[in-house]
Structure 1
Amino acid sequence: MTDTNPPPSDPQHNKQPRVSSRCGVLLIFLLLSIISLAMRLLNLPLNRVIELRYCKEYYQQHEPSVVGPDGNVPEELCKIDGVQKKLAWLEGVIETSLVVCDLVVTIPFGSISDRLGRKIILVLNTLAITVLFAWLLLVGKLDAVFPVEAMIAAPFLSLFGGGDCVLTSTVFAYLTDFAGDIPTRTSYFAYVSSLSYIFSLFGPILASTTMSLNLWLPFYLGIGLLIGAFPIIAFLPQPALHGTSANEPTVDATEETPLVNESMSQDESADTPRVDSSITKGILLELKGILCLVTGRPNFQLLLVTVLVLGIANSNTSVLVLYISKRYGRTFAEVGYLLSIKAAVNVLLLTVVIPILLKAWLPRNSELQVTANFFGAKASLLVSFIGALCLGLAAKLWLAIIAIVIFALGTATTVFILSLVKSPVISAKEDQASGRDFSIVIMVKMIGTLIGTPLMTAIWVQGVAAGGTQLGLPFFVSSILYLVVLATVWNLHVRWSE
């Protein structure tokens, strides 16, 4: 009688969960690929749509003969200062608002996903991005109905589903749910990074090609891809919520549980229904846990300062497209192909060069691993300084291309700095809070971007007004900030060595 049901360890009993997990991981990668490609299709054509609207308004007032019967104005005539200042202002407002809204909802949606499941967050996120695309398309096309400034409403749609940060954190949480052990989880995260590099390479090329055929084609393709993402979400298997698996060891559950659950683990064991009914309380406890982890850890505080300033410095990429287009008189489609050069260098550096160099640095020695991370961070920051300075000074396009390649070689800085988070520099041995440390670092990085995007936009507008070499002002400022980050990393290395 007792043998009628197979025991839990029976292979037939566990076969279905393993198949479901493998299927879920593949579907998550497919979903992330579709949404990432759709979002990569937006940036370049959006620049041209906004530029065209302002350009048409300008020439209708000053030289109506330039405006064609279809309302089009040749792109080379739109590089005048008045148009470019307005373009930079609106782009800066949209990007800053999007980061703010994404940051505001990241923690609440993370808490909701822990209680109600990941699927609902993915549905809301994809829906928000789709509606955002549709609104930008609608405002761009109906110039007789909406002023171009109505695009500012688009980022606030992400309050109902989040943006890139919510998507990434939900995908990581989903993969953590499916991963059976830490090495598997790490490999999943590496695949996510690889997908990001791939779409950084091919996204601008596809956007440039499609917008050369029809300015609105990237928008149509993006919306089509996003609509196709909903059936994939529907087929995603629902993993067990944290804490529901009886077979999962306590230590692993603590390691893999997101920020909310780690900070609430004791309360949940005492009164789970009461805590589950109060998402607000969970968020407050989570914020309290963040403060406790930061205070009393000087090295971690210095690392957060490093990440914050680095986020501000890296925000120069928000004006890179405008800079190349304005200074060298290139169309946005041509700029897309140039950006692919930068992305190709990133892919080669992060997937081939860095792994080979690290393997050559005796990776089995923990102390040498930390030294390698410090050396790599300092070298990358020095290269970033040189690249940003050369890009700001480049008077010719061919010089700018060389500077972009140099600048791209410094993109490994973030990788090396993030590698320090779980090193003895920051975390104690067997530190169970390292997962939360990563969450804090990512949030600080986002705050740096939040500060840097409007700052670089304002500096770019001043550069446009001044003209000449001062067009490179955002990159001159970034080069100084890279030196500041280099000094903080150097200080952190000295403190650890002592």
Structure 2
Amino acid sequence: MKVTMLLSFRKRVLDMRPSNEVLVPSILVTLGAFAMACLSSTYVYLIEQAVCRKHFMVKDPARINGAGLVDEESCKIPDIQAQVASINGIYMFLAFLPAFLFTGPYRQLAKVLGRKIVIFMNICGFVIDSCFFIAVCYCYTVFDIRWIYLAPFLWVFGGGTVIFQSLLYTYISESVDSKHLSGVLYKLRAVQLLANFFAMGLSAYLLRKNVWLQCFIGIGTLAVMMPITALLHDHVAPTKEKIPSYTFFDSDSEDSEDCETTTLLTDSPAPTTKQTSILITLSNPLLENMTHTITLFKQIIQSSPFCHTTMLTYFLLSFANAIDNIFAQWSSLTFSWILADVNAVNSLGTLVSFTVLLSLPILSSILKPQFDNCSSKVDFFMVKASVIAWGVGVLFMALAPTRKMLIAAVVVGNFGAGTYDALRGFVTGLLGGKEEIEQFYVGIGIMETVGGMLGTVAWSAVFREVVGMAQWVLRVPYGFCAVLMVSVLVCAVVLGRVGRRVTKTRR
């Protein structure tokens, strides 16, 4: 019996190895997660130092050391923290703009140049964006900190994070059967979180020692990613690739054998395959790009219940998740931590998420017989369980009276780490075919971007207003977020019902 169990466990562990077709995009996604964590974990610190330096340059110049830095504990006063929240909120909002405006056009460009070239361009844009941000902060005698507002616009070259994620996840999804997709995504997210764990642990050390070395490591990781893109393989010649029609089954026709279909591109016919000038594709005016994105929104709203329920769920998740942008400041101010300590707490949460995601594929295989061996049902169960864990963690964070309780709340919340991947696996399993995946993921990416943009503005504005108030008022943003997670759970339940109708209709 024990031998059988050991052999079964060994088989499950071996099955966790990625195939060659998903290895290269997985490496790029993982390195991208490490670079992003390395760089983004310095941003609040650098902004806070800039505002703090400007404040004490007038009131007490002796507090500024030879490197132009100020003791972090001196910066935890309401006036400084309110300015930091405002500047960081505006910067994070602007960081979403390249993805919001250019996702559609760069997706079309990927069909002309090939995906791997667009991914290479995207990484170059990330390097340019990051280098400019770091240069503004390093050359503080030359630039005012608000020059960082220009940095996101430099990522117009490449289209922003959504294009990077959606194209790489498309590579992976095309190479994996939909029944096994959620398991692959769990493992991939687990590896990303392990990369985040190392990045945040490194940040917890380097923010105390040398923040510029941390920035250099982040940029160096991006440089390593560039030649790896050459290993990606475009399965179809880019100039001959047919742009798929984006079709969904209309779940309203529940009792009909011949179900109606609606498309995301409801107002225009499916594009035909033709040679497209690269110059024309690259030189589309900004107004046309905005119109393209707005049209996508209109088409999402007019599409099938399955489509817009999915998009609404991702929007609410991203809106709620945007509260992470204030976590460093909020926990630092509420519990009197320096930012290096906050990064240490984040690294612990990341380690918990890694463990959870690594366990989910095995847990899914154990639970599968209980759900009639249906992968879709298992994924949906994981979605609900993950959302509940995430919501409970956020609620505990709002109520935590001590540092230890906050750490426990962070741990509980990270048990919901599988939410996005379980939802992606559940939804992908209901699509009509692989040709729909790329466009569907782009739609999800746009909704995540909009949710992130609005969430960043909302949470930053609320936090800015409560800075300097009573301790219980400081906890209001996380109380609101806990309520929002209830809405996410409701949407997930509705999506499950719509999904069952889609499945029934297809039979």
- After TM superposition, is the score higher than 0.5? yes
Bigger CA drift: 352-361 or 278-287?
278-287
Q: How does 1:311-330 map to 2 (within 5 A)?
A: 311-330=318-337
Alignment of 1:7-406 (within 5 A): 26-174=23-171, 179=175, 192-233=188-229, 240-242=236-238, 267-268=271-272, 272-273=274-275, 279=281, 295-353=302-360, 355-362=362-369, 365=372, 369-406=375-412
Residue 470 of structure 2 is aligned to residue 439 of structure 1: no
Are residues 379 and 30 of structure 1, via their aligned partners in 2, closer, same or farther at CA, if it must alter by over 3 Å? closer
- Name the counterpart of 1:15: none
Aligned residue among 448, 459, 477 for 2:480: 477
> Aligned letter for 2:489?
L
Q: Deviations over 1:235-279 (max 9, x none)?
A: 66665425859xxxx9x9989xxx999x9996535xx23698964
**Which residue, 448, 451, 454 being the options, matches 1:451?**
454
Amino acid at match of 1:135: F
Contact 1:380 1:411 in 2 (8 A): yes
CA shift at 1:214, angstroms? 0.8
Code of the aligned partner of 1:172: Y
Deviates more, 1:290-299 or 1:77-86: 290-299
TM-score, structure 1 as length reference: 0.80
What does the per-residue CA deviation read over 1:37-83, in whole Å, with 9 as the maximum and x for residues that have no partner? Answer: 22211122222111111112212222333333443321111111111
What is the one-letter code of the residue matched to 1:57? K
1:317, distance to aligned residue in structure 2 (A): 1.0
CA displacement 1:250-309 (0-9 Å, x = unmatched):
9x9989xxx999x9996535xx23698964699889986885565352243233222222
The one-letter amino acid of 2:369's match is: L
Q: CA deviation at 1:380?
A: 2.8
Cα distance, 1:390–1:194 mapped onto 2, change above 3 Å: closer
Q: Is this contact kept in 2: 1:140–1:148, CA < 8 A?
A: yes
Give the aligned partner of residue 3 of structure 2.
none
Structure 1 residue 316: deviation in Å?
1.1
Query: In structure 2, what is the Cα distance between the partners aligned to 1:87 and 1:285?
Result: 34
Letter in 1 for 2:469: A
- AA in 2 matched with 1:399: M
**1:489 is matched by which residue type in structure 2?**
A
Distance change in 2, residues 1:275/1:192 (3 Å): farther
Q: CA 1:235 to 1:60, structure 2 compared with 1: closer, same or farther past 3 Å? A: same
Q: Tell me, yes or no, if the aligned pair for 2:244 and 2:436 is still in contact at 8 Å.
A: no
Q: Which has the larger radius of gyration?
A: 1
Q: 2 CA distance for matches of 1:349 and 1:106?
A: 32
1:61, 1:114 → 2: CA distance?
A: 55
Equivalent position amino acid for 1:171 in 2 = L
Query: CA distance change for structure 1 residues 105 and 49 in 2, over 3 Å: closer, same or farther?
Result: same
Offset of residue 442 of structure 1? 3.0
Q: Is the 8 A contact 2:244 2:270 kept in 1?
A: no
Judged with a 3 Å threshold, the aligned counterparts in structure 2 of structure 1 residues 189 and 353 are, in CA distance, closer, same or farther, namely closer
Give ranges in structure 1 of 5+ residues lacking alignment.
1-21
TM-score (norm 2): 0.79
Deviates more, 1:80-89 or 1:66-75: 66-75
- Counterpart of 2:411, as a letter, is V
Judge which range, 411-420 or 333-342, deviates more. 411-420
423, 437, 444: which one aligns with 1:417: 423
SS of residue matched to 1:143: coil
Stretch deviating more after TM superposition (58-67 or 304-313): 58-67
Deviation of the 1:376 alpha carbon? 3.2
Would the alpha carbon gap of residues 240 and 292 (structure 1) be closer, same or farther in structure 2, given more than 3 Å must change?
A: same
Q: What percentage of residue pairs aligned between the two structures are identical?
A: 20
Q: Distance in 1 between matches of 2:396 and 2:355?
A: 22
> Using a 3 Å threshold, how does the CA distance of structure 1 residues 410 and 50 change in structure 2: closer, same or farther?
same
Asked if the contact 2:182/2:379 (under 8 Å) is kept, the reply is no
Equivalent residues of 2:383, 2:419 under 8 A apart:
yes
Which sits farther off after the overlay, 335-344 or 194-203? Answer: 194-203
Aligned with 1:58: secondary structure?
helix
Aligned-partner Cα distance in 2 for 1:253–1:232: 28
Q: Distance in 2 between matches of 1:180 and 1:315?
A: 30
Query: How large is the RMSD of aligned CA atoms in angstroms?
Result: 3.8
Note closer, same or farther for the CA distance 1:102–1:266 as it changes in structure 2 (3 Å cut): closer
User: Given that residues 332 and 338 in structure 2 are in contact (C-alpha distance below 8 angstroms), is that contact kept between their aligned partners in structure 1?
Assistant: yes
| 2:245–2:270 contact (8 Å) kept in structure 1 | no
Moved more, 277-286 or 322-331: 277-286
Distance in structure 1 (CA, Å) of the matches to 2:495 and 2:148: 43
